[in-house]
Chain A
Amino acid sequence: MVGSSLVSEAKAALNRFVLFRSMLSRILAALLGGYLFTNVMSLLLFFLLVDNDLITEQTDEVNIAAIHSVFNSMAAIGLSSFVIYTIAALWVFHTRSASRAWAGMLLPSIVGIGIIYWLLPPAIHELLRG
């Protein structure tokens, strides 16, 4: 009698722990994973919107058209970033499991970082290599 109630209590505690851990994991996935995801996706959007020809032209003169293009695209990603973050957070709390939530945030981010690196103008590549 006593033994079985102890076992069931332990089981309940374990269940609570598993539930708590998966909840905590989701919260972190939404806050941190979602944050990374938003930044990467917004930067990706930036490079798709900005006029690449204007930026890769490396002239000594100040290129006013390029400045406009950069600031316009910046406004666009600024406006969309919070929408991306919110949708990401909702998805994290809806998806089947916490590990799926993490995967959904991290994998696209890694791919996105790769594409951004590929899209960067050559001058920046040189800068990053030191």
Chain B
Amino acid sequence: MNNSALKSTKKPNSFRQSMSSLHTWIGLLPSWILYFMFITGTAGYFNTEITQWMQPEIPFAGESASQSEMLASAEQRLKTVGAKADEWYIGFPDGRNQFLRIEWEGHLSDAEKEKLSDEGFTEKEIEEKEEALEGEEKLYPKSGLPIEYADGVTEARETGGGNKLYVMHYALYYLPTTFARYLVIFCTLFMLTALVTGVVVHKKIFKDFFTFRPGKKQRSWLDSHNLFSVLSLPFQFMITYSGLLFFLSNIMPVLAFAPIALIGIDLNDALSAGRVKDMSPKNQELIQIVSEEIFNQSKNVELAGTTAVLTPLTDLLKQMNSARPNKSVRYISVENVYDLNARVEVQLTREVGSGNGNHYVFNGVTGERISKEPVIQGNESSLNAVREADTVMRNLHEGRFAPIILRWLYFFSGLMGAAMIATGTILWSVKRREKAEKKGYNSKGLVLVECLNVAVVVGLPIAVAMYFWANRLIPASFPERANWEVNTMFIVWGLMFAHAALCPRRRVWIDQLWLGAMVCGLLPLLNFFTTDRHLGISLVQGDRLMAGFDLTMLAFGVAFGLTALSMHKRVSGFAVKASPPTNLVEGALVSSSANN
């Protein structure tokens, strides 16, 4: 008996067999953190939409207008509010942002600062004066007027919004940055290995895909695990692999830094200085060239010191529209607004690739296009395509280019990833639970996994929904309210862990599923009582953002409710069956003991 255990390490076992146990363990260990990353990251695909729901004071934008009309009103507005600024930004509304956004920023020259300090202003006061020169506004696309907040408030409530959820998926929360980063990296590497071993294990991957045996406990969990995995496999590979690419310099710093030495950068100086400003002049020059050549960043322009009149931005837009008729402009930014060296940058909508041709630079006074010198290509080879592939992978991960339908596809793929992880860990525990019941003993590891499974798989969505509840219930003037929104989320999550640990195993799933149904499903109702942006109004107005959020949460509520209901039936059915002997052997024992 014992010898066979020893032999199994020496005897070559089949590849599939060794991969199967690797898949089991490498999948289980990081699963709860990965599930957290998938849920928060998936919510992150709608980060701006969630933020807008969490700031209901910001009104519905209403009708949109043509880009040239919007640009004209933005330019006019900037001339009044940003008269003393030297940098402008005009962001156009798109499927995700409903408003026309303007920003402006002014700087005091060294001479002006000196004059102020001679007049007796402290450094802090001078800084404040400089800060007073910057600002931002949201404008209605149609009228070009600044927005009016609901209920007479002057600013929207402070909130972490959807972005806080998005950041959590790679920085976690409460944890030190470096620790969190390496924890995430570790889990992601495990995920990649789990994906590859998972494919190896399932030799009949397509047959498995069409197999579903409901109501058969272990087999049903395996089948649903296969279903979610196979259905979204390309997405899962893409998202895991590209996620790792973002951390390459953290994971393998040698690969990121050693090659740089070959272009002449003094690594000792670069690493000890840290900031570009403090590096040797040679390094600074090289970094400047790299940022222009490789990362396509435009060179900063100096002030000429002579005032000049800015060319009408609408003319530049016309020029753009004739040059790229099928593209729309994402934003326009202006540097050195009232100077002879004024420069206008026009950025077109995002693409999945590097979008090198999406960035146009104009002379702000003459309106002429400043074309970039063609890049000297030493090796115009397939290796350039590799660099493009790298960019595409990163862009695919973030999905910023994705229009609304593709964005929903991202959302569902992310949810399927979460479901894949959840069904995998549940399968692990169901398998071992069946064995444990037969043997009649309870292992501590199994109980722990079962507890974590409920509290993470159902408890986390409840906690996220409570983040939204907290947003509506915490008063707008509450100190540090944005932090308390997140604290609420984690306090509730902690309660779910406590509940899973303390209550009887059969009940926790049903209890938490019903709770999930309630907190998600009742969120539109809470929105109805706390704001006037509820479904009754948003659906009539055609406010897709507000209505979309409410309806999505309602759908989650219904899904949780249906799952709870089916589980309720199964458990009560189980209870009825359990009262007579459950199987033949047991039945025989019962009858024989009765005879005695």
Contacts and interface: CB of A to CB of B under 8 A. Distances in A.
Interface in B325-356: none
Contact of B254 (A18, A43, A65, A97): A43
A94 to B, nearest CB: 5
A76 B383 contact: yes
A80 to B, nearest CB: 9
Question: Max chain A CB contacts within 10 Å: which of B254, B259, B384?
Answer: B259
Interface in A46-67: 46, 49-51, 54-55, 62-67
A43 B258 contact: yes
A69 B5 contact: no
Contact of A70 (B19, B196, B259): B259
Contacts of B12: 96
A86 B294 contact: no
Contact of A68 (B2, B18, B259, B377): B377
A102 interface: no
Contact of A74 (B15, B22, B259): B259
Contact of B289 (A49, A50, A62, A76): A62
Nearest to A51: B379
B522 interface: no
Contacts of B537: none
A68 B293 CA distance: 8
Contacts of B241: 82
Contacts of B18: 93-94
Given A39-B252, A74-B259, A78-B248, A66 B378 contact: yes
B578 interface: no
Contacts of B294: 67-68, 71
A82 B192 contact: yes
Contacts of B378: 51, 54, 63-66, 68-69
Nearest to B253: A39
Give the interface residue-count category, chain A.
Answer: 35 or more
A124 interface: yes
Contact of B376 (A15, A35, A38, A64): A64
Contacts of B192: 82, 86
A74 B256 contact: yes
B197 interface: yes
A90 B19 contact: yes
Give the interface residue-count category, chain B.
Answer: 35 or more
Nearest to B380: A68
Interface residue SS majority, chain A: helix
B376 A65 contact: yes
A66 B263 contact: yes
Interface in A18-38: 18-19, 22, 35, 38
Interface in B385-426: 386-387, 389-390, 393
B260 A70 contact: yes
Nearest to A94: B18
Contacts of B197: 90
A37 B264 CA distance: 27
Contacts of A11: 2
Interface string B1-42: 011011001111001001100100000000000000000000
B387 A75 contact: yes
B377 A49 contact: no
A77 B252 CA distance: 11
B263 A67 contact: yes
A24 to B, nearest CB: 12
A70 B383 CA distance: 10
B124 to A, nearest CB: 42
B390 A79 contact: yes
A97 B9 contact: yes
Contacts of A68: 293-294, 375-379, 384
A68 B262 CA distance: 11
A89 interface: yes
A12 B127 CA distance: 74
A66 B197 CA distance: 39
Given A72-B387, A86-B192, A86-B193, A96 B2 contact: no
Given A64-B293, A86-B192, A39 B379 contact: no
A7 B89 CA distance: 81
B285 A62 contact: yes
Contacts of B289: 62, 64, 67
A109 interface: no
A67 B375 CA distance: 11
B398 to A, nearest CB: 17
Nearest to A92: B22
Nearest to B200: A90
A62 to B, nearest CB: 6
B261 interface: yes
Interface string B197-221: 1001000000000000000000000
A23 to B, nearest CB: 8
Given A11-B2, A15-B5, A68-B379, A73 B245 contact: no
B396 to A, nearest CB: 13
B316 to A, nearest CB: 30
A35 B3 CA distance: 33
A46 B259 contact: yes
Interface in B506-527: none
Interface string A90-115: 10011011000000000000000000
Contacts of B375: 64, 68
A12 B2 CA distance: 6
A21 to B, nearest CB: 10
B567 interface: no
A79 B263 contact: no
B72 interface: no
Contacts of A65: 376-379
B290 to A, nearest CB: 6
Contact of A96 (B10, B256, B387): B10
B383 A19 contact: no
Interface of B: 2-3, 5-6, 9-12, 15, 18-19, 22, 189, 192-193, 196-197, 200, 241, 244-245, 248, 252, 254-256, 258-264, 285-286, 289-290, 293-294, 375-379, 381, 383-384, 386-387, 389-390, 393
The 3 closest A-B pairs by CB, nearest first: A65-B378, A72-B383, A75-B390
7 contacts: A62-B285, A63-B263, A64-B375, A68-B293, A72-B383, A82-B241, A124-B262
